[in-house]
Structure 1
Amino acid sequence: MEFILWLFDAQLRIGDQAILWREVLGNVFGLLSALGGMRRKVWAWPIGIVGNLLLLTVFLGAVFNTPNPVNLLGQAGRQIMFIAVSIYGWYRWRTASRNGGTAVEPHWAGWRNRVFLVVALVGGTALLTPLFRALGSYEPVWADAWIFVGSLLATYGMAKGWVEFWLIWVAVDLVGVPLLFSAGYYASGFMYVFYGAFTLFGFVVWARSRRRKPSVETLFPDPTLQS
């Protein structure tokens, strides 16, 4: 209990800026989860959940009386969403590994799912922006909504094994970095910069993994074509 109380109040001072250690540790757990996801390890999901719980308390600054009294409702709400979707992904990957296969087999989403992802990202942002604004989220509210919807779609895509989910994270980072810096969440902002490069690397790793897999025709050649 004493450790939890210490962790809740501990701060890192950089000049006149105070950064919560909860924010730093939450992002470190998120990075470890992304690394585990790139390597298709089941432990990526529970590690990510720990980070989500820490960051949930950070982004509700006004609620938890933190040094930065700014509420980013999209950022806070996505932590709850992360936990829910991560439970689904954890179950899906664990079930696959228990059945003798790998946790997930990377594969392309296909054009139908790609269209769905783009429409869902843009449409979801448009629908949630007025709601987040009415609840008092930090401006520009559309950016907060974009991050929330993009994070939901990326996490779902990771659970499904879609290679394209890494590119959704890139779209989230492009909007998230300037928003977090403007709101004073510097640790998360710098971590998002690193995430951007990492997600591009993860996309390449999963895409190459997909290309290395032999096709069905190679594994089972058509006997009618044999001489």
Structure 2
Amino acid sequence: MIDWLNGPAVTAFGVATTWAEVLGFATGLLNVWLLVRQNILNWPIGVLNVLLLMVVFGAAGLYADMGLQVVYVVLGLYGWWAWLYGGADRTSLVVRTTTRTEWLWLTVAGVVLTGGLWLFLDRLTGSTVPFADALTTAVSLVATYGQTRKLVESWWLWIAADVVYIPLYGYKNLWLTAILYVAFMALCVAGLRSWRGVLRAQRDAAVPA
């Protein structure tokens, strides 16, 4: 199966594109589209997507991104549970803004993860882009956690990560994945607008007539 996934499917921009990258492209788009719509099926589709991307990144030598997919599987399963039962009295979650305390902890986690991964990748692996790989990994983890809690600002974090991901994947000749992340950025903007609209509707509904 791994050999088939790493086999060439199509040629994009003069570079052979594997089946893993093609299937990752399709499941990635579906995953984020479902996430924008707050559809619970985004989580199982997302788990499938990250398993495919694990194969892609391993073959490209993006080791932090490869390891990140393992964490994404755990976060995907947690997000699936949290959206269903993570609210008050085990009810489903609703969209909300990030508190100051949450921002503090998310910032600390992002800085520590970036620094630790950078040192690890630079000194102990053959990564050719240790800082960019570490930064995008850390921001992606923080953003994914935010989305497991339905924090509206998590979309901004994904947009910031995509700004780095797009040229990074182009540099690695993962052109189909780079195009996927351009689409991801557009969907992130749509997700930000959609979740903001949901948040406004929730606030309006909470105001007494």
Return the TM-score normalized by structure 1: 0.82
Instruction: Give the CA deviation at 1:96.
Output: 5.7
Q: Alpha-carbon deviation of 1:18?
A: 0.4
* Residue equivalent to 1:58: 56
Q: Which moved further from structure 2: 163-172 or 29-38?
A: 29-38
Gaps of at least 5 residues in structure 2 are none
Q: Are residue 171 (structure 1) and residue 160 (structure 2) matched? A: yes
Contact preservation (8 Å) 2:64, 2:117? no
Which of 72-81 and 107-116 deviates more? 107-116
Aligned equivalents of 2:84, 2:99: Cα separation in 1: 24
Deviations 1:35-82 (A, max 9, x none): 111111111100011111111111111xxxxxxxx3101211111111
Larger radius of gyration: 1
Instruction: Report deviation, 1:15.
Output: 5.7
Taking the TM superposition and a 5 Å limit, the aligned residue runs for 1:188-207 are 188-207=177-196
Residue of structure 2 in register with 1:130 after alignment: 119
CA contact (8 A) 1:177 1:189 kept: yes
Q: State the Cα distance separating 1:214 from its structure 2 match.
A: 3.1
* SS of residue matched to 1:11: strand
Q: Do residues 88 (structure 1) and 86 (structure 2) align? A: no
Q: In the alignment, residue 117 of structure 2 is paired with which amino acid?
A: L
Distance 1:95 1:143 in 2: 35
Alignment of 1:75-224 (within 5 A): 75-95=65-85, 103-214=92-203, 218-219=207-208
C-alpha distance in 2 between matches for 1:5 and 1:127: 32
Q: How far apart, in 2, do the equivalents of 1:207 and 1:29 lie?
A: 25
* Distance of 1:111 and 1:169 partners within structure 2: 19
Give the fraction of aligned pairs with identical amino acids, expressed as a percent.
Answer: 29
Assess if the C-alpha contact under 8 Å between 2:140 and 2:161 holds in 1: yes
In the TM superposition, what is the alpha-carbon distance from 1:7 to its structure 2 partner? 4.2
Instruction: Tell me: CA distance 1:23–1:100, structure 2 relative to 1, closer, same or farther (3 Å).
Output: same
Q: Is 1:16 equivalent to 2:6 in the alignment? A: no
> Aligned residue for 1:40?
38
Q: Distance in 2 between matches of 1:140 and 1:43?
A: 33
Contact 2:155 2:188 in 1 (8 A): yes
Shift in alpha-carbon separation, 1:217–1:33, aligned structure 2, 3 A: closer
Match of 2:63 in 1: 73
Q: Which letter maps to 2:79?
A: G
Q: For residue 33 of structure 1, report the CA deviation from its aligned partner.
A: 1.2
Tell me the amino acid that sits aligned with residue 25 of structure 2: N
> Higher RCO, 1 or 2 (CA under 8 Å, sep at least 6)?
2
Amino acid at match of 1:44: N
Extract unaligned runs of 5+ from structure 1. 62-69, 222-227
SS at match of 1:150: helix
Tell me which protein shows more helix as a share of its residues. 2
1:12 and 1:84 map into 2 onto residues whose CA distance is 31
For residues 63 and 3 of structure 2, the distance between their equivalents in structure 1, rounded to whole angstroms, comes to: 24
Q: Would the alpha carbon gap of residues 21 and 115 (structure 1) be closer, same or farther in structure 2, given more than 3 Å must change? A: same
Distance in 1 separating the partners of 2:122 and 2:200: 44
